[in-house]
Structure 1
Amino acid sequence: MRIGKKIAHTAEAVKGSVKKVTGRATRNRSLEAEGRADQVKGNLKQSGAKVKDAFKH
């Protein structure tokens, strides 16, 4: 996996984590849910790239 994509996927997961925590702190359920979704999406992209890399080698 290219380093740029790896950073982008990690950043998406971190952004989701920050949104989730902010939503929890402000009791904003929609922000918390959006953060959870972003976090999962970033983690899935990372996992998919790892699987792709495993089959390349």
Structure 2
Amino acid sequence: ASFFESSTVLWFGTFRIIPDLTIIVLGVLPLAWFLFRTYPHLKAREIKEGESVWKRMGVEL
């Protein structure tokens, strides 16, 4: 238990916020922005219930 209270371990615990914030700012925030911007512009579903996707594409099985 004393190992986890040593100054080195506490220093690493304190400065771990730098890579965490990097991941949040460069990864999560742009992804969330993209999803919120594009969600209203999604196309409506065009394939009806029971309709064959392959027939719609012109593929004979």
- Same fold by TM (over 0.5)? no
Larger radius of gyration: 2
TM-score by length of 1: 0.41
Task: Name whichever structure is richer in helix by fraction.
Answer: 1
Larger relative contact order (CA 8 Å, sep ≥ 6) = 1
TM-score by length of 2: 0.39
